[in-house]
Chains A and B, each alone.
Chain A
């Protein structure tokens, strides 16, 4: 169990909890600003989009298209077909696994 990973886990968990608790402790007026709310609502959108790209196409410092991209396309199709989350994930895994097995 890598010490770096534990340090990252514990500090990330601590800050996330501080964020949750902070919301309970600061005056509501501060957080009710429309700009603050809009930015907070869109942060996950920006970050998740970045995470998709990095997870699927990054290989160290290069962008590559491999079995992971095939898996993502399959998962995206499942999403468009309104499949539940778990099905989307399984479809992506199965597709990537199949591409790897066949190549």
Chain B
């Protein structure tokens, strides 16, 4: 994480420590931004492959600005689902962003318009970097630098991917399969324990069973019910 170097000869150790800490946070923020750029190129390309225009793909990345929801929306629309099913899937995948504020708001302590801006930037990456810092000042720096860096790079990458994919034959290049692999790539890091694995398998099974029975878009929503496989409401005192 961030190394706090204690200088031996300089006369202002606290200031130097602070600068080293801030540099470390900037490095984290920028590397997270670059990594999200790689995802963004995929998103732009796959959005085009799913039938969206480049303008629509870019609008999504600017306005929605949350990767999981964006991938879900293009997945459902691309598979022939209704707009409503697409919206519902995107919303369900975006629920966790609402919870990040619990961790980040006390750290940032912003009001008014800055709060609105902070909300738009409240995503997995900015929350993760902010909450990983020991010092609150570094946490605030982490949130803003990561949020802005991801915003800029994610959007630039979306444009690149969308325009790039717009000039190729997406089916011949197997980009529809790539969307499925992208979902798997987003899913895998989140399956860290047995309950999560149960939920993943349950979701897959529910969707598979529902495909012949329900209109396009609905099977994904039914998969959400799989969370019930891991929730144990009768144990309120169990520690997480």
Task: Determine the chain B residues whose CB is within 8 A of the CB of A79 once the complex forms.
Answer: 184-185, 188
Q: Compute how far the CA of A57 lies from the CA of B187 in the bound complex, rounded to whole angstroms.
A: 17
Whether B66 sits at the interface, judged by CB under 8 Å, is: yes
- Closest-by-CB residue of B relative to A48 is B187
Is A1 a contact partner of B204 (Cβ separation < 8 A)?
Answer: no
Q: Quick check: A24 and B211 within 8 Å, CB to CB? A: no
CB closest chain-B residue, reference A32: B102
CB pair A96–B83 under 8 Å, yes or no, is: no
- A32 vs chain B, min Cβ distance (A): 6
Dominant SS among interface residues on chain A = helix
Number of chain A interface residues as a range = 35 or more
Once A5-B83, A17-B119, A53-B219 are accepted as A-B contacts, the answer to whether A34 and B236 lie under 8 Å apart by CB is yes
Q: For A46, list chain B residues within 8 Å (CB).
A: 199-200, 202-203, 223-227
Q: How far is the CB of A25 from chain B (nearest CB, A)?
A: 8
- B135 beta carbon closer than 8 Å to chain A: no
A43 / chain B contacts, CB cutoff of 8 Å? 92-93, 95-96, 224, 227
Contacts of B83 in A (CB 8 A): 4-5, 7-8, 11
By the criterion CB–CB under 8 Å, are A5 and B223 in contact? no
Instruction: Let me know if B94 and A19 touch, CB within 8 A.
Output: yes
Q: Determine how close the nearest CB of chain B comes to the CB of A51; give it in whole angstroms.
A: 4
Tell me whether A96 and B220 are in contact (CB under 8 A). Answer: no
B90 at the interface (CB under 8 A from A): yes
A32–B98 alpha-carbon span in the complex (Å): 11
- Interface residues in B169-215 by Cβ distance below 8 A to A read 171-188, 190-191, 195-196, 199-204, 206-208, 211-213
- B149 on the interface (CB 8 Å rule)? no
Q: Is the CB of B177 within 8 A of A71?
A: yes
Residues of A near B102 (CB, < 8 A) are 23, 28, 31-32
Contact A40–B95 (Cβ < 8 Å): yes
A86 adjacent to B38 (CB under 8 Å):
yes
How many residue pairs link A and B with beta carbons under 8 A? The number is 325
**Which residues of chain A are within 8 angstroms of B89 by Cβ–Cβ distance?**
47, 51
A-chain residues with CB within 8 Å of residue B206 when the two chains form the complex:
50
Q: Which residues of A contact B177 (CB under 8 A)?
A: 56, 67-68, 70-72, 75, 92-93, 95-96
Distance in Å: Cβ of A57 to nearest Cβ of chain B: 7
Contact status B183-A55, CB under 8 Å: yes
Chain A residues contacting B204 (CB-CB under 8 Å) are 49-50, 52-53
Which residues of B sit under 8 angstroms from A5, Cβ to Cβ?
A: 51-52, 56, 77, 83
B73 within 8 A of A: yes
- Interface pair B216/A23, CB less than 8 Å apart: no
Given A20-B98, A31-B102, A60-B80: A86 and B208 interface contact (C-beta under 8 Å): no
Q: Establish whether residues B172 and A100, one from each chain, have CB atoms under 8 Å apart when the complex forms.
A: yes
In the complex, what distance in Å separates the CA atom of A57 from the CA atom of B192? 25
B223 to chain A, nearest CB (A): 3
> Does residue B33 face the partner (Cβ distance < 8 Å to A)?
no
Binds A, one of B5-13, B14-22, B57-65: B57-65
Q: Which residues of A contact B230 (CB under 8 A)?
A: 38, 42
- Give 4 new A-B contacts, CB below 8 A, not counting A24-B119, A51-B75: A8-B77, A13-B64, A24-B118, A48-B200
